[in-house]
Amino acid sequence: MRSRDLGFRLSIGAFAAALLLIVTAIGFELARQSWLSIQRFGFDFWRTSTWDPVAGEFGALPFIWGTLYSSILALAIATPVALGIAVFVSELCPPVLRSPLIFLTELLAAIPSIVYGLWGIFVLVPFVRLLETWTPESLRALPLFSGPPLGVGMLAAGLVLAVMVVPFTSSVAREVLKTVPETQREAAYALGATRFEAIRAAMFYARTGIIGAIMLGFGRALGETMAVTMVIGNNPQVSLSLFAPQYTMSAVIANEFTEATDALYLSALVEIGLVLFIITLLVNGLSRGLIWTMARQVSSKVAA
Amino acid sequence: MQTSSLRHLVLAVATVALTACGGGTQQPAATQNASPTIQINGAGATFPYPIYSKWFSEYNTLHPNVRINYQSIGSGGGIRQLLNQTVFFGATDGPMTDEQLKSAPGPILHLPTVLGAVVPVYNVPGITDELKFTGPLLADMYLGRVKKWNDPAIAKLNPGVKLPGTDITIVHRSDGSGTTYIFMDFLSKVSPEFKTTVGVNTSVNWPVGVGGKGNEGVSGLVSQTPGSIGYVELIYALQTKIPFGAVQNPAGEFVKASVDSVTKAAAAAAANMPADFRVSITNAEGAGSYPISSFTWILLYENPTDKAAAKATLDFMHWALTDGEKYAADLGYAPLPDSVVKLEEAALQKIKVS
Amino acid sequence: MNSLGTAAPRKILSALFVAACALSVALALVPLAFIMFFVVSQGIQSLNLDFFLHDPRPVGEPGGGMRNAIVGTLMLTGLAAAIAVPIGVVSGIYLSEYRGTRFASAVRFAADTLNGVPSIVIGVFAYGVAVLPFKHFSMLAGGLALGIMMIPLIARTTEELLLLVPNALREGALALGATRAKAVLTVLVPAALPGIITGVVLALARVAGETAPLLFTSFGNPFFSTSLTQPVSSITVQVFSYAISPYEDWHRQAWAGALVLVTIVLICSVAARMATARVARIRGGQ
């Protein structure tokens, strides 16, 4: 029996190894193709801001900034909405509404990103431009709101990304909340808690999974390409302003990869892909670490 | 009972997957025998995509066994795929550099097909008149030196037009493109400062402005943003009915782009055409010529390994240079002058088909 | 629990919270309504029989359609599933069965990382691996790129769902003398099967809407083709090409294409929902 189990373990382990192999191959391939650029610019690539294909000067800072800014902005907008939806659907809404609402949120996830991009240009950007023109002068003075009301820019990108992230985070959070044992809520109610307080207790119990859901949304936002490039303005600058057109890593690769012909240019673009890969690894590691520490705390609480 | 529909779903997915695998093997591969299907893949510039797709479709109607698949992934993309030999021919709005030609696995021919023009499109609130620009003015605008629409430099060229004090929003391409290359080529010729600050390439380091993706991205941004100016291919401006201006040519005339004015720009170049057809006709001399015009080229290896495809492509090129040119004007492209066509027919002899 | 103060402010807070949650739902539904309205109103005009029966025509010629693109998308996703389902499901089984091992942790980490890699980077990878060495764009390369994107989603869903199967089933099978393999394959996987299918269908829905990875792999093709080794058209790439052109007729076709794509994905989602509902009924609900 043992040897047959071993055979089983090895054969399915081979498939799991294939997965690991693919990811390592991607990382390796990215590093290999960007070697020219890595040798030439070294760590300066992460620090400098000039992106000049004609002069052969490449610095990725504006793209790193743009990706992180737009993703964090999207997360800030999407997380409360997504959690609100998850709580509403799993705890608060009448059972008859549950299935339709779940279906509708998943429909948001099913829309292809190019459709989001097109909707972005034709509907969202004019709307954002309107919002920008209505911003009172007093706020305009702040670096957060400075610049002409173009419509395209960080705010539009953050909004589009937020809409795309919401369904992922809310679906996972909803599933997680389902796994919280009823005893937790019942105990809270027994102590005289209001609905809010009971739900808050459930969310505290499930905080590990909820953080995981948020991180999943973050990952989605980091990698989104098509929708972002159509509404962000595609200007590689580091700017605090929500109104300023900026640029993300995925967008610049999508825009310039097919056109780049000289070796250094191409290598620099692939290196941006590598930088994004590394950042995804770091974000992932961070969320795993968070989940792991929280899981330990929860299990020790439950055991007690 | 409940699991039967699940089984059906699994079966359905499996069937699709299996048909995908099985269906592929039934397709005959292109061989050297009589009238087999020859599939030729090409990639490159987006600018000539409408006329190329018309040509390849018409040619396929005349020769149903020749299927030419052209994808517009951009001039640089076309060059790269050609160098990597993943496509049979490339297409570009900007000629290959000496370096690129040297790095190619074999000699490559540049074959001009049609002519096109890049026009300055704008959206100035309150203005319906046609505006006039000079090369140096456009260069200064794109350098960020001219910031408002009522700047004296613009007013001087357009007397009698009530220009508002709106800020100028510069719109350029975010993606690399031959259209950018043509425009940069022109601006670098008329403004030495532009040449040193920005330079010529399919993708440049823009001093100011927002980037739109593709010609449609630029025209979309311009039509929606009051006070903006951008550059697009003539055909886009005509199709989207966005206002575009006249540009001054070396003879001092303010010329608006049209099939006629573009062909005039090429006619002057024909006289001094280099053997490899790699010539820039921006800022061309000659009365009535439009200064931001350009050839667009198809790129072919002189000695390709796939001889059947070579023969088919050669036949196609002969057709394009004679019958194909007739479709150009209707779609907004300027046909090649006869002098150029003659030179090209001679150059096509270089392609080895056996 | 923290000490509970007077009733009234806490009740108000609770009511506000409930209202905020309901508001979130409304907020999410607003853009959805906008987008769907947008796509449907623009796309429905161009949806006719020609659209499904004909291949694209050059601009200005009537009667063009997206037959080759629709078939292309279906075949590409079928190919992607053929690659991703075996690797994804079996990896998921490994991850749930051998959960605590370091190898499983590494694989799980890799899967989560792969999930976050942008589609264009996967496209570039697939280009380097499946196009460049063969000097040929192909449907296979496109299927590979999409398949790679599907794997992590399927693996993680499979893992999570196998973990949710009650331990009693596993213990019962082992108590009856089954080997681990038999227990997993004949008891656990069938129990989790509807959920696994949900994962597969959701992954399919995700990749069906991708454009970037296909640009460098399956390339595109104005002609009808079902060959594995030739470039093939797909709805997303075709929609993209049409959307960036200057022609009104092509724009309308782009919207029709987007509508067809969303409908296909919708059908997949509905199918997934029905499958999970079935599982919930079998197990007596959560």
| Residue B278 contacts A where some CB pair is shorter than 8 Å | no
Contact B198 A152 (CB under 8 A): no
- Closest partner residue to B2 (CB to CB) among C60, C200, C278 is C278
Residues of B in contact with C271 (CB under 8 A): 9
Which of A 20-79 lie inside 8 A of C, CB atoms? 20, 22-26, 29-30, 33
Residues of chain A found within 8 Å of residue C36, distances taken between Cβ atoms: 107
- Which residues of C are less than 8 Å from B21 in CB distance? 79, 82, 228
Candidate from C24, C109, C129 with C-beta closest to A85: C24
Interface test mutation site (partner C, options A26, A64, A249, max chain C beta carbons within 10 A):
A26
pLDDT, tens only, B177-231: 788 889 999 999 999 999 988 888 777 888 888 888 778 778 888 888 889 999 9
Name the least confident of A150-164, B8-22, C62-76: B8-22
**Smallest CA–CA separation between A236 and chain C, in Å?**
19
Are the Cβ atoms of C151 and A24 closer than 8 angstroms?
no
Rounded distance, CA B48 to CA B52, Å? Answer: 6
The fold for domain C71-234 equals: MetI-like fold (1.10.3720)
Confidence at residue B5, expressed as pLDDT on a 0 to 100 scale: 42
- Give B 82-101 residues with CB within 8 A of chain C: 84-87
B24 interfaces chain C, CB cutoff of 8 Å: yes
What would the two tokens of residue A281 be? Answer: 């690894």
Cβ-defined contact of A114 to C107 (cutoff 8 Å): no
The average pLDDT across A238-262 equals 85
Interface of A with C in 172-211 (CB under 8 A): 178, 188, 191-197, 199, 201
Contacts of A26 in chain C (CB under 8 A): 114, 117, 121-122, 125
- Written as one letter, the residue type at B134 is T
The yes-or-no verdict on residue C145 having pLDDT over 80 is yes
Instruction: State the chains in contact with C (3 or more Cβ–Cβ pairs under 8 Å).
Output: A, B
Closest partner residue to B205 (CB to CB) among A51, A148, A152 is A51
Cα separation of B55 and B46, whole Å?
15
Tokens of C129: 């691996």
C250 Cβ under 8 Å from any chain A Cβ: no
Instruction: For residue range B313-351, list pLDDT tens digits in order.
Output: 999 999 999 999 898 888 878 888 888 888 899 988 888
B77 near B175, Cβ under 8 Å? no
Secondary structure, 3-state, chain C: CCCCCCHHHHHHHHHHHHHHHHHHHHHHHHHHHHHHHHHHHHHHHHCCHHHHHCCCCCCCCCCCCCHHHHHHHHHHHHHHHHHHHHHHHHHHHHHHHCCCCHHHHHHHHHHHHHHHCCHHHHHHHHHHHHHCCCCCCCHHHHHHHHHHHHHHHHHHHHHHHHHHCCHHHHHHHHHCCCCHHHHHHHHHHHHHHHHHHHHHHHHHHHHHCCCHHHHCCCCCCCCCCCCCCCCCCCHHHHHHHHHCCCCHHHHHHHHHHHHHHHHHHHHHHHHHHHHHHHHHHHHCCC
* DSSP 8-state assignment for residue B287: T
Strands lying side by side in the sheet with B254-255: B132-133, B246-248, B254-255
Closest Cα in chain B to A244: B210
| Residue A55 distance to chain C (closest CA, Å) | 25
Average pLDDT over residues B128-155: 91
Judged by a CB distance cut-off of 8 A, whether residue C69 touches chain B is no
> Would you call B226 an interface residue with chain A, using a CB distance cutoff of 8 Å?
no
* Paired tokens of C115: 């999930």
Q: What is the pLDDT of residues C47-86, one digit of tens each?
A: 888 788 888 888 777 778 889 999 999 999 999 999 999 9
The residue type at B174 = S
What pLDDT sits at residue A25? 94
Please check the confidence at residue C96 and state whether its pLDDT lies above 80.
Answer: yes
* pLDDT tens readout for residues B23-79: 333 333 343 345 788 889 999 988 888 889 899 999 999 999 999 999 888 788 888
Taking CB atoms and an 8 Å limit, are C24 and A24 in contact across chains?
Answer: no
At B3, the pLDDT band (50, 70, 90 cuts) reads: very low
Encode pLDDT of A9-29 as tens digits. Answer: 888 899 999 999 999 999 999
Q: C-contacting residues of B 217-236, CB under 8 Å?
A: 217, 219, 235-236
Complex-level ipTM beyond the 0.85 threshold: no
Tell me how many residue pairs between chain A and chain C have CB atoms under 8 A apart.
254
What mean pLDDT value characterizes chain A? 84
> Which CA distances in Å does A11 have to A8, C153, C235?
5, 21, 37
CB contact under 8 A, A262 and B99: yes
State whether residue B144 sits within 8 Å of chain A by CB.
no
Closest-CA distance of chain B to residue C12, Å: 46
With CB atoms and an 8 Å threshold, state whether C231 touches B41: yes
Chain C from 126 to 155: CB within 8 A of any B CB: 131-132, 135-137, 139, 143
* Residue A90, pLDDT score: 84
Burial C145-155 (b: 16+ CB within 10 A, else e): bbbbbbbbbbb
> Measured between CA atoms, how close is B297 to chain A, in angstroms?
16
Q: Say whether B175 and A261 touch across the interface (CB within 8 A).
A: no
Q: According to the model, what pLDDT value does residue C5 have?
A: 59
Asked if the Cβ–Cβ distance from C109 to A16 is below 8 Å, we say no
- Enter the tokens of residue A122: 């034709």
Residues of A in contact with C269 (CB under 8 A): 103, 106-107, 110
**B94 — contact with chain A (CB < 8 Å)?**
no
Largest CA distance in chain A: 77
Chain C CB contacts of A257 below 8 Å:
120, 124, 216
pLDDT for res B112: 92
pLDDT at res. C282: 66
Q: Which residues of B touch C220 (CB under 8 A)?
A: 69, 71
Question: Does B23 contact chain C (CB < 8 Å)?
Answer: yes
Question: What tokens were used for B354?
Answer: 């056996």
Report the relative pairing of strands B132-133 and B246-248 from DSSP bridges. Answer: parallel
The tens digit of pLDDT for each residue in B224-272 reads 888 999 999 888 888 788 899 999 999 899 999 988 888 888 887 777 7
pTM: 0.80
Q: Is A112 on the interface with C (CB under 8 A)?
A: yes
Taking 50 as the threshold, does the pLDDT of residue C116 lie above it? Answer: yes
Q: Does the pLDDT of residue C142 top 90, yes or no?
A: yes
Both structure tokens of A211: 């953080």
CA A90, A92, A98, A103 torsion-angle sign: negative
Nearest residue in chain B measured CA to CA from A246: B210
> Could you say which of C1, C24, C265 has the minimum Cβ distance to residue A80?
C24
pLDDT greater than 90 at residue A188: no
Contact C74 B16 (CB under 8 A): yes
d(C-alpha A105, C-alpha A213), whole Å: 15
Q: What is the pLDDT of residue B127?
A: 85
Q: What is the pLDDT of residues A102-129, one digit of tens each?
A: 778 777 777 888 888 888 887 888 889 8
Domains of chain A and CATH, by start? 64-262+274-303 (1.10.3720.10)
The answer to whether A233 contacts B211, with C-beta atoms less than 8 Å apart, is yes
pLDDT surpasses 70 at A299: no
